[in-house]
Amino acid sequence: MTLISDTERGLGISELSKSLGISKGTIHGITSALEEIGVLIRDPFTKKYNLGYALVELRKKGLSRIPLREVARRHMEELVEDTDETVFLGILKDDHILILDVAESTKELKITSPSGTKIPLTAGATGKVFMAYMEEKSALRYLTANGLVKYTESSITDLDRYLQEIKEVRKKGFATDHEEYLQGVKAVAALIRTQGPVLATVWVVGFSSSITVDKMGYIEERTRKAADAISQDLKRRQEQ
């Protein structure tokens, strides 16, 4: 654990084997078991291991000792109040997005999904944020190997257009989804900046019928500000 926590880029099987003087086969068995319970997380592109989310409250490195859900919850609830739409918190895990927490809209008809749900890496606004902020070569390698799924008629399936889209996400600080992942649903997502290798995001989701052009602009601004506020709180907790 110390070897991995002392490096920001993570370590691969060969590096761990050489440093610890243990065979690659044995290292593979150990890392696989630790990954299974969330102690380690493996980058699907570089194949290197970093500390997993299960160690968040146990270590002082990366996101450790910083309960992301606890820090984000207040801001998520405020975002629900401001937008009257459901707010999600999630992280990038392997080749999918893992929902960590949900603050539901008070409306009778709303979008929701339980914590622990996994959604595709290229899913709508959230996928764009993760693709925009992961290592550029890794993102391109994933997109080239897996392609872009046509979830709805509005889904972006042209690679050049999608790459331009995530380039814009980096400039704006947030991503939007106009029925690109779910028909009749719009979303806005923004990156939560952490002190470790884990990528996290907060996003707002609602039915297209309830999100006008003006409201969409308001949600974009509020989501970006909420993500910044969570990032700042995480940083303060890290420094304590």
CA distance 205 to 94: 23
What superfamily does domain 68-239 belong to in CATH?
GAF domain (3.30.450.40)
Domain spans in the chain, listed from the N-terminal domain onward: 2-55, 68-239
DSSP alpha helix (H) spans, 84-135: 124-133
The per-residue pLDDT for 55 is 52
Q: CB–CB of 85/110 below 8 Å?
A: yes
The per-residue pLDDT for 62 is 39
Q: Is 112 helix (H, G, I), strand (E, B) or coil?
A: coil
Q: CB–CB of 121/138 below 8 Å?
A: no
The per-residue pLDDT for 54 is 56
Tell me which fold the domain 2-55 belongs to. Answer: Arc Repressor Mutant, subunit A (1.10.10)
Q: Which two tokens stand for residue 203?
A: 């996003």
Angle, helices 24-36/13-20, rounded to nearest 10 degrees: 120
DSSP alpha helix (H) spans, 92-149: 124-133, 136-146
Q: Which two tokens stand for residue 98?
A: 């893992």
The per-residue pLDDT for 57 is 43
Burial class (CB in 10 A: 0-12, 13-18, 19+), 4: buried
DSSP annotation of 174: -
Mean pLDDT of residues grouped by 10 in the chain (240 residues)? Answer: 60 81 79 72 70 51 57 96 96 88 92 89 94 88 92 95 94 95 96 81 96 96 97 82
Which amino acid is it at 205? V
Task: Report the side by side order of strands in the sheet with 96-103.
Answer: 118-120, 96-103, 86-93, 200-207, 185-192, 175-178
